[in-house]
């Protein structure tokens, strides 16, 4: 599908965004292995979360929708049943990387597969620690999916993360639920902590420090009710649109402002953007309303220590940097190369077509700001975040743009373009 995008005068209004996709995945997974009925309000409507739900349905868990509620009939840590065939995780890297930790504690064998894009994404980073825990996990040649997991006895380990990754950390913590003893994960830079927060909420024996988390196995989890806050990754596109388009002001309600995830807000403030959070609330995840207004922004240096907290927002940060005064340097962004596409390559290709000054040196990205981008023929490369970031760039460009393969937004935000249209003044 191709979409024509024309420049706009401004965007204004108040919106909500879909439930946080990362938190939604975890609610489905943990609810399925908890004892009793978990009721979750606001699970993200996305292809990825649907694949996680379908994976647990294939293993005997009752999951149904009742309006905004998702009702999960959990069967405890060892209540899953052997699936009748390979479990299809679609294009969901979160499902493929985190689910093996749970499967490692079951008494059956299961195979996880996915679509052709996911089969090209590396899985060695979960295979290595899970094998150290005694889990029999077999990857395709070179460490790629499909993954075959044979559940059994799980051993506790101390694991020092070579690269910050919430998905890898989560897989290890999930496996730790089934071990006899304490599993500890140590990080150089703290990655997002949604799994730790939710495991604690469901009653796990878990302790969290500044750069380490430990979990003791053998304790059953108890069903809970919870509400998923809005996804800050989805909100970031509207925030950036308001900042770069003159005369704009947008309010996004009830968004997750978890510190390990909301680095985008810190980056925006450092760049001089008029962005603030109001109506803050505490819960199992902190939330608030975000207000963004048009601003003149400046280039900054983003250190590699910040990357874990902004990894999903980097594509739209590239757009902001392209329209900011001076130079932006983003260090240590190599993790973007192993997403749904190589996002450094996809964003560089598109932004250069629009006249941006974008260069790459190893894992570092250098962007020199320009006064205006030009409309162009663009390509999503079948990547939802590349697609949405370039849609925002196109709104602020001189002239009409066309983006190829826009159906990819259904991976995380099926209603993205409709939500955007509701804010636009032409």
Q: Which two tokens stand for residue 294?
A: 């048009």
R_g (Cα) of the chain, nearest Å: 21
Instruction: Give CA–CA dist 115/143, Å, rounded.
Output: 16
Is 312 known to be catalytic? yes
Verify cis geometry, omega within 30 degrees of 0, for the bond prior to 146. Answer: yes
**Contact (Cβ atoms closer than 8 angstroms) between residue 46 and residue 412:** yes
What DSSP string describes 58-117? Answer: TTT-EEEEETTEEEEEEE-TT-----SSPEE-TT-HHHHHHHHHHHTTSSSEEEEE--TT
Sign of CA dihedral 329, 333, 337, 341: negative
Alpha carbon 88 to its chain centroid, in Å, reads 19
Instruction: Give CA–CA dist 367/302, Å, rounded.
Output: 12
Q: Which of 193, 289, 312, 382 is catalytic?
A: 312
* Cα–Cα distances in angstroms (integers) from residue 148 to residues 121, 127, 143, 237, 330, in the given order: 16, 10, 12, 37, 37
Positions annotated as catalytic residues are: 312
């Amino acid at each position: 599908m191709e979409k024509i995008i024309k420049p706009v005068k401004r965007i204004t209004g108040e919106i909500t965004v879909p439930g946080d996709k990362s938190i939604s995945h975890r609610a489905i997974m943990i609810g399925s292995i908890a004892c009793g009925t978990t009721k979750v309000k606001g699970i993200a409507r996305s292809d990825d979360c649907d694949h996680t739900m379908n994976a647990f349905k294939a293993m005997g868990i009752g999951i149904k929708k009742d309006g905004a509620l998702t009702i999960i009939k959990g069967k405890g840590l060892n209540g899953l049943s052997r699936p009748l065939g390979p479990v299809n995780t679609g294009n969901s890297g979160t499902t493929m990387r985190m689910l093996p930790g749970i499967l490692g504690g079951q008494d059956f064998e299961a195979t996880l597969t996915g679509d052709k894009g996911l089969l090209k994404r590396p899985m060695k980073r979960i295979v290595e620690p899970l094998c150290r825990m005694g889990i029999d996990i077999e990857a395709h040649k070179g460490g790629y999916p499909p993954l075959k997991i044979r559940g059994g006895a799980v051993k506790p380990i101390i694991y020092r993360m070579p690269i910050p990754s919430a998905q890898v950390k989560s897989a290890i913590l999930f496996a730790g639920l089934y071990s006899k003893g304490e599993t500890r994960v140590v990080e150089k830079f703290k990655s997002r902590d949604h799994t730790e927060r939710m495991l604690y909420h469901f009653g796990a024996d878990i302790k969290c420090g500044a750069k380490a988390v430990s979990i003791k196995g053998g304790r059953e989890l108890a069903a809970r009710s919870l509400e998923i806050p809005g996804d800050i990754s989805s909100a970031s596109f509207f925030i950036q649109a308001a900042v770069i388009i003159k005369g704009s002001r947008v309010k996004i309600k009830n968004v997750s402002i978890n510190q390990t995830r909301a680095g985008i807000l810190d980056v925006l403030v450092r760049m001089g953007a008029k962005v603030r959070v109001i109506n803050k609330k505490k819960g199992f995840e902190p939330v608030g309303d975000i207000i963004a207004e048009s601003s003149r922004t400046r280039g900054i240096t983003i250190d590699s220590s910040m990357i874990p907290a902004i990894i999903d927002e980097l594509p739209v940060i590239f757009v902001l940097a392209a329209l900011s005064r001076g130079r932006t340097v983003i260090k240590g962004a190599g993790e973007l190369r192993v997403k749904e596409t190589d996002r450094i390559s996809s964003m560089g290709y598109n932004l250069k077509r629009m006249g941006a000054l974008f260069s790459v040196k190893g894992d570092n990205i250098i962007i020199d700001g320009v006064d205006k981008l030009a409309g162009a023929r663009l390509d999503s490369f079948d990547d939802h975040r590349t697609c949405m970031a370039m849609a925002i760039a196109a709104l602020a460009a001189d002239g009409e743009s066309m983006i190829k393969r826009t159906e990819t937004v259904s991976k995380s935000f099926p209603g993205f373009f409709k939500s955007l249209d509701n804010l636009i003044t032409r």
